[in-house]
Amino acid sequence: MIPFDNSYARLPEHFHAFVSPAQVPDPKLIRLNGALAEDLGLDLEWLSSPAGLAMLAGNAMPEGAEPLAQAYAGHQFGGWAPQLGDGRAILLGEIIKKDGQRRDIQLKGSGRTPFSRGGDGKAAIGPVLREYILSEAMHALGVPTTRALAAVSTGEIVRREEPLPGAILTRVASSHIRVGTFQYFYAQNDVAALKTLADHVIARHYPDAAITDEPYAVFLEGVVAAQAKLIAQWMHLGFIHGVMNTDNTTVSGETIDYGPCAFMDTFHPDKVFSSIDRQGRYAWSNQPVIGHWNLLRLAETLLPLISPDAEAARSKAESAIERFSPIFRDHYLAGYRRKLGISGQDDAQEDFIKRTLGILAEQQVDYTLFFRHLTKVATGSTNDTLKGLFDDPAVYQSWLDDWSQREIDVTVMQQANPILIPRNHRVEQAIRFAQDGDFKPFHRLVDALQQPFSEQPAHADLEEAPTSSEEVRATFCGT
């Protein structure tokens, strides 16, 4: 019932391990993403049938599925891990959409694989719903991301710090190939595998590179540009990925592996949520630094492919990597110009953007509400709410006077400033209710976040910043 067209399974056997998903006792559909199913050209009726549910739960594999766990390595918080791999995810196979785009269909939380090490390969309901909410919100916010096709409860209890209901996410991605996938073969000095992998990725994600004289350097440039743009988009939204390890960095430029990620409430550039990020390595403002570092790790692996002449290879890789900073900067500044509704490219604008963010931090302003209400002010609404976000009304007034002197484009602001983001306290609230069997807050949040730029009076409460007792200050991987 699913027209699988698997290419990763055709790659050499040390790229993956074939493995069947574990059986689960009592699968129930929590949510099926109808719009995504339709976009993928999948039969919605079949997916919602007992046979469809059996696939989404890993209990029965439809014809054409070739379940496998992918091998990869990675730098985790800067430390090298030579073998990670899909320890709790199983790729069922790939399909080709009507527009010719290839998509992976993967179960996350469907049991042990040869890469599970000490883990159980399962997922608790919290991380599954979290990834569902966040990845679908990111998509609606216009950010490249893996998607959520379905969430299923398994009827099993998984043991974490406490016993929790088990669940499985069906994840869809343009591929699950990571910087760490390249590092896996690089560390083994397996140049033949690196070439096979690079050719696979070029055909899949960077077909234009294939027709150049230097496909591997052009591929690297493509990943550099995609990651630079992605990280700028995260920052515009106040998004902190939280675990930007090289194994969580895709070569497609999609956001992947929503662990302890979070959207900031009150703005601060040094903000970190992940309880395991004690040094602030993955703080909001450090994300481009880390993105650049991760791309250097990718570049290293491509050197032998870029040129047989080591010196030439190094210089080409360096010039590809050097493009990161200017591309990031252009996207970063352009995005803030849109958020502020100001145009032009002069340095004064850059200073103004810097100054604005400095004031938001110093005045402890809620990041999303600031741009949301500034947009309202630009439409001519009264500005009491905006003013109220600042500790000091005089600071607000002098900033506003400065901003008001510029030519403002309201339409651009409306398209750049979301009204709704998945606020941490709302995500955690939805998870708490779901753990007790009530999925209403989860469904409401997912529904509302499908239109993050639209006025939705029925969901106005979801815009609000948390009270100090509601505020989430730390997030956990929860794997």
> Which residues sit at the interface with ligand AMP, rule CB under 6 A?
84-88, 115-116, 119-122, 243, 248, 257, 259, 477, 479
**Out of ligand AMP, Mg ion, none, which partner does residue 175 contact, by CB within 5 to 8 A per kind?**
none
Q: How far is the CB of 116 from ligand AMP (least distance, A)?
A: 4
In terms of CB distance, is 184 or 367 closer to Mg ion? 184
Q: How far is the CB of 248 from Mg ion (least distance, A)?
A: 5
Token pair for 20:
């069947």
> Given candidates 131, 136, 257, 277, which one binds Mg ion under the rule CB under 5 A?
257
- Per DSSP, the residues of 243-306 read ---GGG-BSS--B---SS-EE-SB--TT---BTT-TT-TT-GGGHHHHHHHHHHHHHHHHHHHH
Element (H, E) at 168: strand 163-173
Instruction: Please give the span between the terminal C-alpha atoms of the chain, in angstroms, as a whole number.
Output: 32
Token pair for 339:
């958020």
Site map (CB under 5 A) of Mg ion, residues 8-47, x = contact: ----------------------------------------
Query: Which listed residue (5, 104, 208, 247) is catalytic?
Result: 247
Q: Which stretch binds Mg ion (CB under 5 A): 31-39, 100-108, 156-164, 245-253?
A: 245-253
Site map (CB under 5 A) of Mg ion, residues 310-339, x = contact: ------------------------------
- Per DSSP, the residues of 46-97 read HHTSHHHHHHHTTSSPPTT---EEE---EEETTEEES----SSEEEEEEEE-
In terms of CB distance, is 84 or 365 closer to ligand AMP? 84
Q: What's the Cα-to-Cα distance from 258 to each of 261, 315, 474, rounded to whole Å?
A: 6, 35, 14
| Rounded Cα–Cα distance for residues 275 and 288 (Å) | 21
Q: How far is the CB of 155 from ligand AMP (least distance, A)?
A: 18
Within 8 A by CB and 6+ apart from 276, the residues are 77, 260, 477
Q: Does 106 bind Mg ion (CB under 5 A)?
A: no
Q: Which stretch binds Mg ion (CB under 5 A): 150-158, 254-262, 355-363, 415-423?
A: 254-262
**Out of Mg ion, ligand AMP, none, which partner does residue 243 contact, by CB within 5 to 8 A per kind?**
ligand AMP
Q: How far is the CB of 325 from ligand AMP (least distance, A)?
A: 27
Q: Does 131 bind Mg ion (CB under 5 A)?
A: no
- Per DSSP, the residues of 223-249 read HHHHHHHHHHHHHHTTEE-S---GGG-
In terms of CB distance, is 125 or 244 closer to Mg ion? 244
104 catalytic per annotation: no
In terms of CB distance, is 183 or 248 closer to Mg ion? 248
In terms of CB distance, is 67 or 87 closer to Mg ion? 87
Q: Give residue 4's Cα distance to chain centre.
A: 25
**Out of Mg ion, ligand AMP, none, which partner does residue 116 contact, by CB within 5 to 8 A per kind?**
ligand AMP
The CB-nearest residue to ligand AMP is 119
Strand 102-108 and strand 163-173: pairing? antiparallel
Q: Where are the beta strands (DSSP E) in 322-449?
A: none
Token pair for 302:
């491509």
Phi, psi (degrees; rounded to nearest 5) at 149: -90, -35
Q: What's the Cα-to-Cα distance from 398 to each of 205, 355, 394, 395, 405, rounded to whole Å?
A: 48, 12, 6, 5, 11
> Given candidates 106, 174, 183, 248, which one binds Mg ion under the rule CB under 5 A?
248
In terms of CB distance, is 287 or 414 closer to ligand AMP? 287
In terms of CB distance, is 39 or 120 closer to ligand AMP? 120
Q: How far is the CB of 477 from ligand AMP (least distance, A)?
A: 6
For 93, left (φ over 0), alpha (ψ -120 to 50), or beta? Answer: left
Q: Which stretch binds Mg ion (CB under 5 A): 5-13, 61-69, 253-261, 313-321?
A: 253-261
Residues assigned a catalytic role: 247
